Amino acid sequence: MTLSFRSKLVASHVALVLVAGGIALFSLDRALAADLARQLDQRLEDQGKGAIEWAEGGKRHPDRITTRIANIVEAEVTLFEKDGTVIGASSPEARGDLGPEVAAARAGSVGRATRARGGRELHYVAVPGAEGTVLRLAQPLSEVNETVAAMRRRLLVASTLAMLVAVVLAILASRVASRPIQEMTTTATRLARGDFEAPIPEGDRDEFGVLWRALKSLASQLKARIGELVEERDRLQRLMTIRRDFVANVSHELRTPVTSIQGYAETLLRDDTPPETRAQFIEVIHRQAQRMGALVEQLLALSELEARGRDDLARESVSVLSIARHVAETVAGHAEARSVTVDVDGVDASAVVFADPEGVERVLLNLVDNAVNYGKDGGKVTVRATAESGRGREGVAIEVVDDGDGIAAQHLPRIFERFYRVDAGRSRQHGGAGLGLAIVKHLVESMDGAIEVESELGVGTRFVVTLPAPRRPSETTPL
């Protein structure tokens, strides 16, 4: 059986009171009995000594004198001759009752003895007289025993009452003593259930206060640790999902060209394919292989970007105009095919950024290429660059604007995600896998820049890349 802390406390209090009360009762009882017996003995001796001379004088009427003494001292009186013979007694039973007390008195000292006679216990005291006569007084001990018994009853009643009071006090004390423990148990149970909002008091300056404070610090540490673990778990789950999606997307992107290459190659292996069809099929195989090559190239670029740290980037002052011109030249053939004009006149010759030249070119090429791709036939792509100061540091805002179909608002927040395409069919036509803008964003951010997009359906799209300008000499911190 498991007892609660309170029951144990009450039980220990009660046991303590029981033991203490029992010992007090026992020793009091003993002391009282011994004291009463001694008082009786002393009284009998005093009375005997006081009466012996008188008894010796009245020896001629021994029975009368013994009866008179017996009446006065209220005890049984026996008078003995020097040789031990009884000469007078206040009661007939006393005559034949000879004990060691008489022998002692005859030898000259006060004799005393306690023994039973006729079912009663009696105390005898015998005193010697000057003439050798012995006077013996006897009194039953029953009186003493009765007094002791009455006292014992009173003590028992008193101690029972004391016990009851002690039990009530013990219950009250245990309630007060166990309250903090109960509160602590409730709080600890709530903490164990993960309820860290459970209020924890500061506690007093006693041991419980120390415990409360320890519990409080434990709870806050636990809360922080669990918070960290939950965050870590969520982060890992997110990473797992990203990885899983990435692998699935890559596989999906590769499957189409691989299936197509397989199909055409199988047809080509047959001897009955006419030569003009062969040439067509080889062209398709070539296009699909190019597409796969471009995808692999983009994947490599992404993984390289992820692997390298911010400090690994080669930073230098880069003229935006020269890069914009170079990009315009690169896309010229493609733009011409779609009768799109690429205008870089809006790029300020003084627009210089502090960045990785290859990175900036890659960003611009991607944006301009997209603008040509998704712009309308015969449309216009405008590249502008203006120095911009604000938000503490000077920068350059590079804009790539087209007058194409635009991007619907619900797609805008997601176009920088990997493999996200607004119109998969159209995108695929251009060989796009939805990785271009993800790479752009990654690159821009790794160069401490930012990218924003605005678009209106049927009007066009505007990408704005902000990159930091080089620090002016006065700004550079001296080494």
Question: Which residues make up the interface to ligand ADP (CB under 6 A)?
Answer: 370-371, 374, 402, 404, 407, 415, 420-423, 427, 432-438, 461
Instruction: Give how far Cα 449 sits from Cα of 123, 420, 476, Å.
Output: 119, 22, 19
When the beta carbons of 111 and 432 are compared against ligand ADP, the nearer one is 432
CB of 269 to ligand ADP, least distance (A): 32
Looking up tokens 């540490």 gives 221
CB of 363 to ligand ADP, least distance (A): 11
When the beta carbons of 331 and 438 are compared against ligand ADP, the nearer one is 438
CB of 427 to ligand ADP, least distance (A): 4
Give the residue nearest to ligand ADP (CB).
432
When the beta carbons of 62 and 436 are compared against ligand ADP, the nearer one is 436
When the beta carbons of 76 and 402 are compared against ligand ADP, the nearer one is 402
Helices (H), 206-356: 207-269, 275-307, 320-337
- Say how far apart CA 254 and CA 248 lie, in whole Å: 10
CB of 348 to ligand ADP, least distance (A): 22
Residue 165: exposed, middle, or buried by beta-carbon count in 10 A (0-12, 13-18, 19+)? exposed
CB of 464 to ligand ADP, least distance (A): 12
When the beta carbons of 282 and 459 are compared against ligand ADP, the nearer one is 459
When the beta carbons of 127 and 400 are compared against ligand ADP, the nearer one is 400
| Rg, C-alpha atoms of the chain | 60
Looking up tokens 């924003």 gives 452
364: nearest Cα among 289, 439, 253, 446: 439
320: nearest Cα among 358, 360, 359: 360
When the beta carbons of 126 and 365 are compared against ligand ADP, the nearer one is 365
Could you say which DSSP state residue 453 is in?
E
CB of 384 to ligand ADP, least distance (A): 15
Beta strands in 26-168, from DSSP E residues, in sequence order: 76-80, 86-89, 111-117, 120-128, 134-140
CB of 211 to ligand ADP, least distance (A): 60
CB of 345 to ligand ADP, least distance (A): 19
When the beta carbons of 111 and 434 are compared against ligand ADP, the nearer one is 434
User: One-letter amino acid identity for 53?
Assistant: E
- Say how far apart CA 175 and CA 171 lie, in whole Å: 6
- Say how far apart CA 281 and CA 292 lie, in whole Å: 16
